[in-house]
Every structure is written in structure tokens, then in C-alpha cells.
Structure 1
Amino acid sequence: MTPFESSWNPQSPESQQRRTAMLARLGALRALEERAARASAKSQARFDKRGQLLPRQRVALLLDVGAPWLPLSALAGYLHDTKDPETSVPGGGVVAGIGFVSGVRCMVVAADSGIDAGALQPMGLDKLLRVQEIALEQKLPFIHLVESAGANLMRYRVEGFVLGGAVFRNLSRLSAAGIPVITVQHGSGTAGGAYMPGLSDIVILVEGRSRAFLAGPPLLKAATGEIATEEELGGAMMHATVSGLGEYLAQDDREAISMARDVVASLGWPASRNSGEVPPPTLPASDLLGLMSEDLRQPVDMREVMARLVDASELLEFKALYGAATVCAQGNIGGHAVGLISNNGPIDVAGANKATHFIQWMCQRNQPIIYLQNTTGYMVGKDSEQGGMIKHGSKMIHAVTNATVPQITIQCGASFGAGNYGMCGRGYEPKFLFSWPNAKTSVMGAEQAARTMQIVADAALERKGIAPDPEKSQAQFDRIVHMFEAQADVAVTSGLMLDDGVIDPRDTRDVLRQCLDMCADAQARRLSPMQFGVARM
């Protein structure tokens, strides 16, 4: 492989303007993420009075100091319960991410009990299901820091109750697969929430704070007339000494977290493989801030992005002179040999065939594939249709769907039309998918959609002998543009969990390296699966 020769001038006015726009967008998204932390921190005085730590303090205490931490779906639920962008609190009421505990890479989940007492939010359910899926695929111990008021009965939805059962199903699947499930019960777990410890392999309780019961005192009295205290029904001491629900009894949150770290240390879990020292890119990651334009119609040479992600900025481009708008190259990221696929424009017939060939080549070589999305979709037009764009694009989708190697997607710019599919969008289940702050996802560009609808509407009027009204036609055009642009925005798509989070472009290499390390560890790790999960005794 040879070092890539960059032609990009990061000091140019164009680059500086793009950099400023990217940083502004990144700052706005980070402020949204911080909104959840600030909302939770408003409960600090109440937690202090109870001698408790806030959820984010618990997570920080659990994690190894200085070790990598990969937050997941921090914008989940944004604009879901309320459409007001000024008051919507993202996060789904759940703090989640992948980090190291006692030297072991783990999936860590904490109910954000500083907000609505940790009541599970609709998108919080989707977030829980997604992180459980990742833990199962990547064979990561699952640590759950539980304190939740359960479902908010004032916002009850029957579908949430029914589909929420998948959370407990997944806990059973994790345990049966041989993946440890560890719960620290910091506070209440009522009704379905009681099954969180019930379906865990190891449970740590906090004396005087932990509660776990299928029916709390109010429901018990309403249902049967029986009167009992919370401690009698599901207190920590009762569960530690009578029911046997808990293995360990801690005096406070800090001791409980310390016990969780000891439990993880005792797992005998294989350490993450270390690829050792690898040469960093020769081109600076900071350049990635200025490469992408706010106007996604502006061309970008995505080889410039690739060269700032791979070791030593060395690339081996595949079929460079054929289907040039589709860029395929081999390189290394953190010592992992990978294939990279990106777009310098729409995917044409030659590009689709080239990508299909390359995906199959990577599968033969057993090398993960990184998709750097930046496409307005598959090429349209008479020549393209007659050239067989449908069947050649379909071959590419076949290859993406059935690839036998890990696939990881970064949405760097446009992700429009079937290009989202052919470039391994969310529907194609990449192992991980992250977005840049400028990314946009849509069935097509907003103006193209509006112009299409305008042409269709005007033609319908003309068939009836009615002349189109220019003002009404323009008003409809503007409404459609606004609708498409609003839904394409990354804050909205990430809020809908169409990615695993929005990352700083400068962090892309580090994020990819963590993901590739996890995939390699998962492929090498041998578990001891059982027919059933570990049952509590």
C-alpha cells in the first residue's frame, strides 16, 4: 500500500467555512445531549439526602479510569414525546455505552432515575433492546444499574407493555448464550422491573434502598386488600435473607459498585486483544471538520476521508478507473485489515458492480467492511435504466445483505434513496452505525421531492383543464421541502434511533478502532452456552 497524496487544503476559505459550520452543528448536538445530564442533575439534592449517587456518577464509578467509553444512542427520544425542540429531553431515560470494568469490556446500562424517577420512556425501550442486541452479538457482559419507577401509567400504551417483554426475553438469551448478566439494584424495581434482577445471573442489593416486588403496597391493597410495607414485600434485607433474590448486600451505592467491579474481575473473562502500536494517519483528523459541505450536493473526494482514518494514511484502491464515483479501497485501522466503500456521487451501474465484487472479495479475505455513506442514491435516467441499474443495484444489495464479515457504517453526508440500502443503512443491520453532525437521511433530496410532487400536481390540474396557481404551487413546494428537511436532520434520525449515536468526525478512527476490536474479540471468543439462562435459586 502507498500513502495517499492529499490535494485538500485545510486552510482554504472553503475549508474554514465548512469547519465553522461543522463545529457549530456539533456544539448544538452536544448541548442537546447535555440537556439530559442537566435534567438528571436537578435531582442532586434529593439523591444526596438519601445518601445515593446520581446515575451518571454510578456509571463513572463503575468504569475503569482513563479507559475508552463509547456512549450509545444519547439522542434517543429527541422530539418523540414532545415536538418542542426547546424542551425535549433526549436519551430515553437511559444511560448506555460500552466501556471497561475491571479490565473487561462490558455493556453498561443505567436507568436515569434523576428524570421521572427512572420511569421507562418509549424510546428508552428501543434503546434497551438495541444495547442488548449489541451485547449479544459482541459477547459483552451486560451490567445493569437499576432504579426505576417502571412504566409511567399516565402515559400507558398497550404496545409498550407487550413489546417491553422483549427486554426480559433478551436477558434470558444473554444468560443462555453464556454472557454474564449482572444487576445492581440501586432503588425500586416494580412489576416488570422486578424481572430485571429476576432474570440476572448476579444481583447486588443496597440495604435500605433496593426494592423489588411484582406489586407494591398500593397495587397490593387495590388488588387483594392485603396491607404490607415495602420492606416486607421487597426490601433488600428480605431478598438477601428470605427470598434469595440477591447474592450480595451493600451498605450504599459506592459499595454496590465496588462489588460489581469485583464480580466482573472474578469472571475470568478473556482480555480484549491488543493490536499493539500502529502507525497513526499521516494526515490530521482535524481536517475532517472541513471536508464536508453543508450543501450535500457539493462534491467531496471521499478518499480524503479514508486517508484520515487508516493507519499511516495508506490505501490500496480497488478498480480505481472503473465506476470511479464509487470508491473501494483496502487499508488498516488500528491494525485491523479492512475494506472501505464510499461514494463520490450517485452509484451507477459500474459502481454497483464494482462494490458487489469488492464486498465478495472482502468476504473471501474475512476482512470487515466500513461503509462511509455520502450518496444521493442510485443513478437514474434513460441510459441508467437501459443499462440495467435495477438488477445491478440489486446485486449490490444482495452482497450487502449476505456479507459474512462484520459491517460498520458511518453516515458522513447524504444517505438518500436506495443508496441508504446499498451502503448498509440501518435496515441492513450493520454491527454499528454512527453519524456525523451534518448527515442527512431521506428517500430523496428535499427539493427533488418537492419538485416531483409539484410536477405531478400541476399535471393533474392540467388534465382537468385547470391552470396551476403559481402561489399555491410554490406554497406546496415550500411545505414539502420543510417536511423533508426536518425529517432528514441527524438530530431527528438519531432521536428515532436510526443510528447508534452522533460522533465528532475527529473521533471516527477511534470509534472504528473500538468497534473493530469488539468484532475481532467476539469472533475469537468461545462461550459456554446452555439451553436455558441461569435460573435464580
Structure 2
Amino acid sequence: MTVLPSALDTAAPEYAANREAMLGKLAELDAEHAKAVAGGGEKYTARHRERGKLLARERIELLVDPDTPFLELSPLAAWGSDYPVGASLVTGIGVIEGVECLITANDPTVRGGASNPWTMKKALRAHEIAFANRLPVVSLVESGGADLPSQKEIFIPGGALFKDLTRLSAAGIPTVAVVFGNSTAGGAYVPGMSDHVVMIKERSKVFLGGPPLVKMATGEESDDESLGGADMHARTSGLADYYAVDEPDALRQARRVVARLNHRRAQPDPGIADPPKYDGEELLGIVPGDLRTPFDPREVVARVVDGSDFDEFKPLYGSSLATGWAAVHGYPVGILANTQGVLFSEESQKAAQFIQLANQRDIPLVFLHNTTGYMVGREYEQGGIIKHGAMMINAVSNSRVPHLSVLMGASYGAGHYGMCGRAYDPRFLFAWPSAKAAVMGPQQLAGVLSIVARASAAAKGQPYDDEADSSLRAMVEQQIESESLPHFLSGRLYDDGVIDPRDTRTVLGLCLSAVHNAPVEGARGGFGVFRM
């Protein structure tokens, strides 16, 4: 075994400072996650419970197998917007009767579970994950449909939600809907387009138009139960496949549906793997509070991979990028991790070759981000940094093995792309609370704007206002800093969640397990033209 050595000094003041800074960020993260868990707040939670109903996360807890993890996705969706954190929807991956499933659950304590623009984006991302990894989808439905004041942002793109359900089914990926309350208007198509539907006596209400709309449209008098109740759909319309007496019974029946799916993984679980040789708790003190200070990502790798065993590829070449082979919870992976922040031509060529090798061997890739981007300057431009950076981006773009990305530190500029940022469709992308992503660092961006403004004034023969320049730089730095933070980016679904560094191995293991529900096959050629 090639066990990584560790030079991490947990008694050093730098380590203590890093750890303290990370714990502070985690406390802030916990406070934001608590907002999502709180849903619509005490008033609406109490009202929901008075009706004898379970909360969204309680429904999920009864649905999944006891003592199995639930990997929640996009919990900070809508953060920083006019809508509640969490976007009135819970999504994630859980195990039901031994089957890994993508689970979505409307939160009816937030405006009756109505869908706002961020709800739609979160649901679409969940369906994307289900499709790529061939995960059965279980929808726990209780929603009055679209949040009408924001319909202009929902109606047109929102049709993709129903399209997704039909395409999942057509691809042989099972879809199950459990209706706990209202499933109205467009929401009626969620059970309507699912393979299996469970409804609850005197609870489920599924109709394209409720009694008031029917009265306005046709003049017909009707009531909820005869128009769209569970009894009617079980006995008359045939929309309900299973008829439950209460919520626990509905969840029990949903578990039985999943047990009978005959859904098979493409690759079996590899079984128990050796844990890392080093304590995962130490991950808290590795990343400096100031991301301009470099750190060795091998210290992270040593606390994440099985047995801390890492076979490094080209260790003496392109030393600003560590590449190598390892396993996480028994699943083989190739790892690319930034060591010094900047990517040069050597690192770019090394990465392209490594990605090709992973595709030949059908091995998933894990990208650990801490990069300021590709190197600039006359020497590097003349040395071909553009074509070499393009080579790396080409390889990432056309690689077909699953990619998993973790933003640990900076992820700036085209380096974010080369390290498989969101636009490059990683199967999963998570961030540490220490992460930042933007075109460039706040100081650099503000400085560039200042230089351009100064040059423009000189070209016009005008005096330059240094005081105004100082104020502008401070304002720009503050703006870019706030827009680079993980809460902001996660709120816009640019990642699948902000995680505690100590959970990195577990999260990667859960993702790799989900990934292997589908065949893992690399590209055989087809990388386009590599400019040499």
C-alpha cells in the first residue's frame, strides 16, 4: 500500500486558527440549515400538526430504511432570495427496502407547499440526478401547485417537471407518487404521470381544477371528495393504484411498491472498506481562513480515501495539481486536487492525460478544488497556456465517467471549469463552508476595474479621482466577496449542498454508491481535437 504520510501539526497555532475559523463557518451554516428545517415557522407547523399530519422530513424518515443515511440535496435553495430557505421542497437520496431512491417531499407548512421558481429549479436538479444515476423517484406530494404571484417564472419552464417524469418512466426508471393532501392543477400531473400512485382516505385531493374553478368554468357544483378524493380515484377514475387509511399506512405501502420494483444496480455494493489512517476530525484545521495561503490537499485525501492509500500519478510533473488513484468506501476513483492554486501548462496536460486514463479504465473522477485559475503573463501565453488549458477543459467536457466535485477553497476563473464546475455537469458537486467561486478573487477583480478606469481617464486626458476609485474598489470587493460565498452559490443551486468537511468521505461514499446504480463507462476516444 502507498499510504500517504501526513505533515499536519495539530498542535500548531495555524492549525488551531484554521479549525476555529472553520467551526465559526459551520455554526453559520447550521443556522441557515435550521431555517430550511423550520419550514413555514411555528405557526404553520402547529397548524399542520393539528390536522394530524406529519412534516415533510418526518414522512421521509418513516419511508427510508431504519438506521440508513439520507443525503439531503440543495437544502439552502432560495437562500438570499425573496422565498424561504429550502424552497418549500425537500430532496435527497435515501434507501427504501434496500433500493437507493431519489426522494422529493413538498413542505406544506410553506404556503401550502406551493412551488416557487426555486422549488422548480430544485426539483429539476433532483430529476437530473435521478436520470443520470438511474435512481427510482419517490414523490411525497402535498402542494397547491404554482405560487401564483410568481407564475410568470414558473409556468413555461415548469412543464419540464412533468416531461421528466415521463422520460424517467420511458427509460425504465420507476416513479412513485404518494399523495398526502392537495395535488392541484399542474400538480395533479405528478401522480398522473407516475408509474405507481398511493392515495390516502379523506386526505388526498387530486384534480385539475378545484370546486371554485369548476364552478367558474362550467357552473357545476361539486365538493373536494367527489371531484378528486382518494375514494373516488380508487373506485371510479382509477388514478389511485393503492388506497391507504392514513399517512403511516401510505408510507408502508410505498415501501412495498419499491420492494416489488425488481430494480437492480449496475454494480453491487463493494462491501466494507478500510477507513483512513488519519482522524477525519482533523479536516477542520487544514484549510486556512485566508484562501491566499496555500495548503496541501493530500492532507485531505489522506483523511478521505480508504486506508489513506493514494497512488500518485506524475508526482514530479505539474506539481500544482496532484493526480492519483484511490478508493472511497470500496469504489475506485481518480482524484485531481489543486496544490498551489495556479494551473500551468504542465498541470493542464497532466490532467488531460489522467482524465483519458480514467475513461479507459471506467473509473469515476473526484475533483478537489482550490484554484485561482490558469496562469497569465507573457511567458505563459507564449508557452501555450491557452491551448493547454483548453486541452484540460476539452478532456473534462468530453469525459463520460461520473465526476464528483468538492469545492474546498477558491474556485476561480476558467480553473473552475477545468476542475469540473457546475457548468460541466458533475454528477454531484458539494462545497465546504470555506469555499469561494467567482470569475476571480475580490481584490483582483476590483483592481482590474480600477486599472481599466484609470487607463480610460488617461486616454481621454481627464484627471482620475483617486478617492472615488478607493470607494469603488471597496464596494466591488464587498460585492464579489458576498457573491462568492457558499451560502449565496448554494442558494442558486450552483452546488448540491454545503457540507461539513468531516462528512466528506461519507458524502462521497453515498454519491459513489448512487452513481453505480447506472453503468460506469468511460469515453473511448471522442475527445475532440487536442491542440498540441
Q: TM-score, normalised by structure 1?
A: 0.94
Q: Is the 8 A contact 1:52 1:252 kept in 2?
A: no
Q: Which of 427, 442, 445 is the aligned partner of 1:446? A: 442
Distance (whole Å) between structure 2 residues aligned to residue 119 and residue 176 of structure 1: 27
Distance (whole Å) between structure 1 residues aligned to residue 26 and residue 129 of structure 2: 26
SS in 2 for 1:47: helix
> 1:44-84: per-residue Cα shift (whole Å, max 9, x none)?
332233221121111111111111211100001111226xx
Query: Is 1:420 the counterpart of 2:421 in the alignment?
Result: no
1:367 alignment partner in structure 2: 363
Query: Is 1:434 the counterpart of 2:430 in the alignment?
Result: yes
Distance (whole Å) between structure 2 residues aligned to residue 52 and residue 281 of structure 1: 43
* 1:352 Cα deviation after fit: 0.4
Letter in structure 2 aligned against 1:297: R
Letter in structure 2 aligned against 1:256: A
* 1:524 Cα deviation after fit: 7.3
* 1:349 Cα deviation after fit: 0.6
> 1:178-227: per-residue Cα shift (whole Å, max 9, x none)?
11111011001111000011001111111111111111112222222222
Q: Is the 8 A contact 1:41 1:54 kept in 2?
A: no
Query: Is 1:329 the counterpart of 2:324 in the alignment?
Result: yes
Letter in structure 1 aligned against 2:409: G
1:96 alignment partner in structure 2: 91
* 1:461 Cα deviation after fit: 1.2
Query: Is 1:120 the counterpart of 2:121 in the alignment?
Result: no
Alignment of 1:216-295 (within 5 A): 216-270=210-264, 273-295=268-290
Q: Is the 8 A contact 2:177 2:197 kept in 1?
A: yes
Q: Is the 8 A contact 1:51 1:252 kept in 2?
A: no
Deviates more, 1:442-451 or 1:22-31: 22-31
Distance (whole Å) between structure 2 residues aligned to residue 8 and residue 54 of structure 1: 44
1:528 alignment partner in structure 2: none
Query: Is 1:516 the counterpart of 2:517 in the alignment?
Result: no
* 1:41 Cα deviation after fit: 5.6
Deviates more, 1:220-229 or 1:57-66: 220-229
1:464 alignment partner in structure 2: 460
Letter in structure 1 aligned against 2:274: P
Q: Is the 8 A contact 2:364 2:520 kept in 1?
A: no
1:30 alignment partner in structure 2: 30
Alignment of 1:190-201 (within 5 A): 190-201=184-195
Distance (whole Å) between structure 2 residues aligned to residue 190 and residue 124 of structure 1: 16
2:60 alignment partner in structure 1: 59
C-alpha RMSD over aligned residues: 1.4
Letter in structure 1 aligned against 2:321: T
SS in 2 for 1:178: coil
SS in 2 for 1:337: strand
Deviates more, 1:148-157 or 1:377-386: 148-157
* 1:40 Cα deviation after fit: 4.0
Tell me how many residue pairs correspond in the alignment.
518
2:178 alignment partner in structure 1: 184
Distance (whole Å) between structure 2 residues aligned to residue 278 and residue 45 of structure 1: 44
SS in 1 for 2:293: coil
1:347 alignment partner in structure 2: 343
Query: Is 1:387 the counterpart of 2:397 in the alignment?
Result: no
Q: Which of 279, 292, 296 is the aligned partner of 2:291? A: 296
The list of structure 1 runs, each at least 4 consecutive aligned residues, that deviate by more than 6 angstroms after superposition, is none
Distance (whole Å) between structure 2 residues aligned to residue 220 and residue 4 of structure 1: 68
> 1:507-531: per-residue Cα shift (whole Å, max 9, x none)?
1111111111222231179xxxxxx
Distance (whole Å) between structure 1 residues aligned to residue 20 and residue 491 of structure 2: 24
Letter in structure 2 aligned against 1:259: Q
Letter in structure 2 aligned against 1:481: E
> 1:218-248: per-residue Cα shift (whole Å, max 9, x none)?
2222222222111121111111111111011
Distance (whole Å) between structure 1 residues aligned to residue 169 and residue 418 of structure 2: 34
Distance (whole Å) between structure 1 residues aligned to residue 515 and residue 148 of structure 2: 40
Q: Is the 8 A contact 2:362 2:520 kept in 1?
A: no
Letter in structure 2 aligned against 1:252: D
Distance (whole Å) between structure 2 residues aligned to residue 311 and residue 151 of structure 1: 46
Distance (whole Å) between structure 2 residues aligned to residue 488 and residue 123 of structure 1: 19
Distance (whole Å) between structure 2 residues aligned to residue 48 and residue 35 of structure 1: 18
Distance (whole Å) between structure 2 residues aligned to residue 128 and residue 385 of structure 1: 43
SS in 2 for 1:156: helix
Q: TM-score, normalised by structure 2?
A: 0.95
Q: Return 5+ residue gaps in structure 2 as ranges.
A: 522-532
1:46 alignment partner in structure 2: 47
Q: Is the 8 A contact 1:328 1:342 kept in 2?
A: yes
SS in 2 for 1:147: strand
Distance (whole Å) between structure 2 residues aligned to residue 458 and residue 291 of structure 1: 39
Letter in structure 1 aligned against 2:371: T
Letter in structure 2 aligned against 1:180: P
Deviates more, 1:129-138 or 1:148-157: 148-157
SS in 2 for 1:498: coil
